[in-house]
Amino acid sequence: MFATANNLQYFASLICEATSGSQTRSLAEMHAMRASAGHATGPFGNVAIDYTMANGETAGTIAEVGKIELETIETLLGRVLSRARSDSNTS
């Protein structure tokens, strides 16, 4: 799948909106922030990528690293998109 300029702009705007800090936080989000001693920033929190593959070995090729990083990005975007969908339903 090739990303079009519109798709890239859409995802960039979602990430910008989600990380700008101008939105109000829910009570659960504020509690999570306090529990993490304020270390979580934006909807992604502290992102640490584990490069260990399913077989227990560390990723050793660019393809393996890319696969792990793409899966991480998809997970992070899933968080933002689910939050964006729930915000649009409440408006």
Q: How many domains does the chain have?
A: 1
Predicted local confidence at residue 20, as pLDDT: 62
Joined together, the tokens standing for residue 2 give 């090739």
Among residues of the chain, what percentage have pLDDT more than 90? Answer: 14
Q: How would residue 82 be classed by pLDDT, with cut points 50, 70 and 90?
A: confident
Across the range 20-43, mean pLDDT stands at 64
Measured between alpha carbons, how far is residue 30 from residues 16, 42, 65 in Å? 20, 11, 33
Domain assignment of residue 84, given as a range: 5-90
Q: What is the mean pLDDT of the chain?
A: 74
Across the range 44-48, mean pLDDT stands at 68
